Amino acid sequence: MSDHADTSLDPADYLTLLEPLFLLEPEFSDQLFRDLLAKSPLPALAEVRILVENSLFWMRDYPELGKAVATGFLQLVGIVSKNWQDRYADTVAIGKGITPVIARSVAEKFISIVRTQNESLLQLAREIVVTIGPWGPYPLGQVMNALLSLLEAAEEYAAQAYLQMILKALEQQISERELIRFAPLLSRGILFWQPEKRNWQVVQLLRVVGKGYGLAHAFFRGMEKGLAHLSADDLPLFIAKALHLADEKRQSRFLSLESMLGLDACRELQTMVPLSAVVGSLSRYLYARSGRPVTVRSLEHLPATSRFMPGPCTDGFRIYLPVEMDRGKSVAENQLMYRMLAGLELACWEAGSFDFDWQRFMREYRPMTMAGDDGIGEIPGAGSADDLERFLAGFSLPWLAEELLNLIEQGRIIRFLKSCYPGFVKQVRSLLDKELLRLVAVSGSWSFWQLLFAFLVLDQEPKIGGVPHEPWVEALREVRRGFNEEITETSPVEAAASLVSKVYPSLAAILLLPQPGAEKQPVYPFGRRLRFDLVAKASQEQEARAVQLKAVLEDAGLDFFKADLKRLLKEHDLTLTPEMLKNCLMTLGGERGIGGKKLRGQLDDLDLHQCFPAGQDSGAFSSIDEKVPTFWYDEWSIQLQDYLRDHVKLLEHQRVGADSSFYPEVLVDHGGLVRRIRRNFELLRPEGLQILRHWPEGDSFDYDALIEYAINRRMRTTPDERLYRKRLKVDRDVAVFLLIDVSGSTKNKLPDSSKTILGVEKEAVVLFCEALERVGDSFALAGFSGSGRLAAEFFQVKDFTESLNGEVKSRIGALRPEKNTRMGPAVRHATSKLAAYPAKVKLLVILSDGLPNDQDYSQEYAIEDCRAAIRESRSKFVHVHAITVNAVNSPHLDRLYGDVHHTVIADVKDLPDKLPRIYRALTKQ
């Protein structure tokens, strides 16, 4: 480190030292003086003297260089030692040996390098200056800027490797022009990788560049496509295979995963599975098991909290899983781990882990121990926000009670699961056992919580011999007794809470002795635990509405548990109407043995509207550009059960095509698929005139059939009467309108990809157009969005009379994410265009990424209006089929479109392949 600052410094001393500089550059010197004073601590006089000397050395003949050196020293004094300041000065001198301009560039760019105090880095950087400097300041500047971007990201190791790569490229005679592109490519590519893996991935990049700098681009492409998922052990093996190939072209295709060989090699080596690769299949699995859509997110989306380390969990609405899984030895094992973890989280919902109800607990499981001198404090009153918080607050050590509840509840869930999914329990126990043993091996001994986990969740006898502390044995036995006696496969969460309150006093006494193991943050397999805190936070709205609803029901003399009401609200995604709620309460009442006509009567008399959010209409909104054709459409109002006449203004825009490269690029990227589509749809195309043979009537005889006839007669067997050939004019007269949702949500990127949802949809549209061109059906395309009822937007891409020309193709590329999803008017407008077009069969295909949603147009209201619009279409003999992407099916989609008239594609990446196939199935003859 540099000399320490002199705290008794007088600023006037600085002025004295700066005087020679001031004579040459007064303004600069003033600024330097102010900058010195702003530093904390103030630099020592000796350091300032060195700064001035070095600056003066250059200032007289090269003022700009002198200033750059002064600025450089200013950033180094107090940070690096004199030794390193001297190195900085020497490096500037090296640069001056080339040209003063290079020296100035060095003075500016080397500050960050010197601050690392990394000798290797400095030497490599100097070598770069000596080699590239003679080419001029621009190429040197490009290389150094790329280096600085790595240093700014604190990637010192990568920066060093980067310089080595540049030197290797120089050895391979890279040209100046290529170098200018190569340098930023390297830094950008490296920074795109995950920080925790960068260092060892950079080593492989260095190997690749060592073979040929031209291979770097292929390597980066390969990393994006899947090489990034290879482990630190497997990536070198892959690179070795690549570099072993005969020529650079083959190596490039291998590295970029464009060759089958490369793809197979990557697949064989890959064991790590990213969440993005399985989220579609996980969502589908979870939906199949639960019957409702379940969102899966990575742990990166978990709300930040210091309470617990991030691990797989749920907040009651979403399931959070690790962004990658690499604990297993193979892809299959890691995929299984994801499914097991997701299944366990879903089981919390299925088993009602978050449906704790204080009232039900007190009524049915009245705890043995309440407030008193056995360690449990006063039970707080009904003012507490959450029932479970209220329960835990009743213990002198809420964290201890919560930990017990976490484990007992997990044990209860496993008992519940065993009755429905015995196969799942068998698999998940095996997985958790393996992981638990690994944790214990790492730590060297069992913690109390881990022993309890092994007993309750894995159903293993506590390893008495392996229990490190004698008092724990009795504690484990007590929990085991209580668990076996009180928890069955149908016990609710309140039973687990009751067991907690029974075992707490003795466990608190045993566990809080000063000994290790009963730690506050236990380590469980995969870091997984029940996150009651997250659930409480995420369901605050449901909690408030459930409280309100309960009060209304109680006033009417109806007794329902708040937790049950909360669950109803959650399950219906807040789209519950008063009428639906009454029906659900009837069902709930029936389950509890209350019900029948009396309950129905009481519910019918209730006004539940006060428990629901305010109604839909809230006035008009700002209109937009009026210089486009506008159309007025009715809208169906669920409240009025009638149409609102001329309620929606639709503006029909004509997008100007700006992206003429999009269409051909898609055809290249999906080359194989395009060829297949063209072939399949050619086969669909009617041949104009079809000749039917062996027909019962026709234009001429089929002579083969006649001969058979004669033979059969002679044989005295019944001849076939189909003796004719018939020429049949096979007509296919289909018109299809493809309506594409271009709302703002389509700008969302796909995981691990630079593509957006709309980007993939547009690719699918291109392939769809190719299919329709081949089969010869008439078609039109449009996008739709909306921003209030006075600004529903319709983006005409192609109408029926236009051919698929260059302009239309550009318009497809020009589609971009807009605002909201006002679907009803778009359906009506497209239907009007279809109805006006003469075709025997008319089909409207709606491509969307979710339910309709706009200002004052959401949930039930929007769904009912869209249903009305679709009914109107069908009444005009327009068949309507919807394709929803990047979602799982929900009952709302069934209600919206009719359960046989829509298709769900969970992973939008499948859309380009599936859209033409769906169309083919819809229109086959």
Partner 1 sequence: MSGQTNKIQDYLIATEPYYLPLGNEVELFMAACHEQLPLMLKGPTGCGKTRFVEYMAHRLQRPLVTVSCHEDLFAADLVGRYLLTGDETVWMDGPLTLAVRHGGICYLDEVVEARKDTTVVIHPLADDRRLLPIDKRGEILKAHPDFLLVISYNPGYQSVLKDLKQSTRQRFVALEFTYPLPAEESSIVTRESGIDVAIAERLVNLAGKIRHIREQGLAEGASTRLLIYAAQLIRQGIPPLAACRAAITQPLTDDSGLQETLEEIITDMFE
Residues that bind partner 1 (CB under 8 A): 280-281, 284-285, 287-291, 339, 343, 420-424, 426-427, 696, 713, 716-719, 721, 732, 734, 841, 843, 879, 881, 889, 894, 899-900, 903-907, 910, 914, 917-918, 921-925
Residues forming a β-bridge with 847: 740, 883
| Least distance from partner 1 to the Cβ atom of residue 296, Å | 14
Task: Give me 806's structure tokens.
Answer: 């260059």
Q: What are phi and psi of 123, to 5 degrees?
A: -65, -40
Specify the residue, 678 or 722, whose C-beta has the smaller distance to partner 1.
Answer: 722
Number of Cα atoms under 13 Å in the Cβ half of residue 329: 2
Cβ proximity of 54 and 89 under 8 Å = yes
Give min distance, CB of 486 to partner 1, in A: 26
Cα separation, 292 vs 318, in Å, equals: 12
Cα torsion 403, 406, 409, 415: sign:
negative
CA dihedral for 233, 238, 240, 241, sign (positive or negative): positive
Nearest approach in angstroms of CB 921 to partner 1 is: 7
Cβ closest to partner 1, residue 49 vs residue 727: 727
* Closest approach of partner 1 to the CB of residue 294, in Å: 11
For residue 727, the minimal CB distance to partner 1 (Å) is: 16
Enumerate residues 6+ apart whose C-beta is below 8 A from 843.
Answer: 734, 735, 736, 737, 878, 879, 880, 881, 922, 923
d(CA 741, CA 817): 9
Pick 33 or 285: Cβ nearer partner 1: 285
Q: Quick one: 329 or 716, whose CB is closer to partner 1?
A: 716
625: which residues sit within 8 A by CB, 6+ positions away? Answer: 651
CB of 502 to partner 1, least distance (A): 33
| CB 281 to partner 1: min, Å | 6
Report the residue number, 331 or 499, with the smaller CB distance to partner 1: 331
**423 or 619: CB nearest partner 1:** 423
- Give 767 or 843: the residue with its C-beta nearer to partner 1: 843
Beta strands across the sheet bearing 318-321: 295-298, 318-321, 313-314
| Distance (Å) of CA 84 to CA 4, 263, 693, 839 | 15, 48, 94, 82
Phi then psi dihedrals of residue 795, to 5 deg: -110, 100
Element (DSSP H or E) covering residue 121: helix 119-132
Q: Given the complex with partner 1, which of 511 and 863 has the nearer CB atom?
A: 863
For partner 1, the closer CB: 650 or 882: 882
Which of 816, 843, 848, 804 lies closest to 667, judged by CA? 804
Shortest Cβ 734–partner 1 spacing (Å): 7
Q: How far is the CB of 886 from partner 1 (least distance, A)?
A: 12
Given the complex with partner 1, which of 632 and 877 has the nearer CB atom?
877
The nearest distance, CB 311 to partner 1, in angstroms, is: 22
Residue closer to partner 1 by CB (options 20, 719) is 719
Q: Which amino acid is at 634?
A: D
Beta carbon of residue 695, minimum distance to partner 1 (angstroms, whole number): 9
Residue 373 or 591: the one with the smaller Cβ distance to partner 1 is 591
| CA 270 to chain CA centroid, nearest Å | 21
Tokens in use for 266?
Answer: 């990557």
Instruction: Count CA atoms within 13 Å of residue 559 on its CB side.
Output: 6
With beta carbons less than 8 A apart as the criterion, state whether 870 and 888 touch.
no
Q: Where are the beta strands (DSSP E) in 283-382?
A: 295-298, 313-314, 318-321, 324-325
Indicate the residue among 717 and 754 with the shorter CB distance to partner 1.
717
Between strands 324-325 and 724-729, the pairing is: unpaired
CB of 423 to partner 1, least distance (A): 5
Task: Tell me whether residue 119 is exposed, middle or buried, using C-beta atoms within 10 angstroms of its C-beta: 0 to 12, 13 to 18, 19 or more.
Answer: exposed
Give ∠ CA 757-758-760 in degrees, rounded to 5: 70
Phi/psi at 5 (5° precision): -65, 150
**Residue 538 beta carbon to partner 1: minimum distance, rounded to whole angstroms:** 24
| Smaller CB separation from partner 1, 343 or 375 | 343
Q: What is the rounded distance in angstroms from the CA atom of residue 406 to the CA atom of residue 503?
A: 14
Whole-number minimum distance, CB 289 to partner 1, in Å?
6
Q: Among 732, 815, 812, 738, which residue's Cα sits nearest to residue 777? A: 732
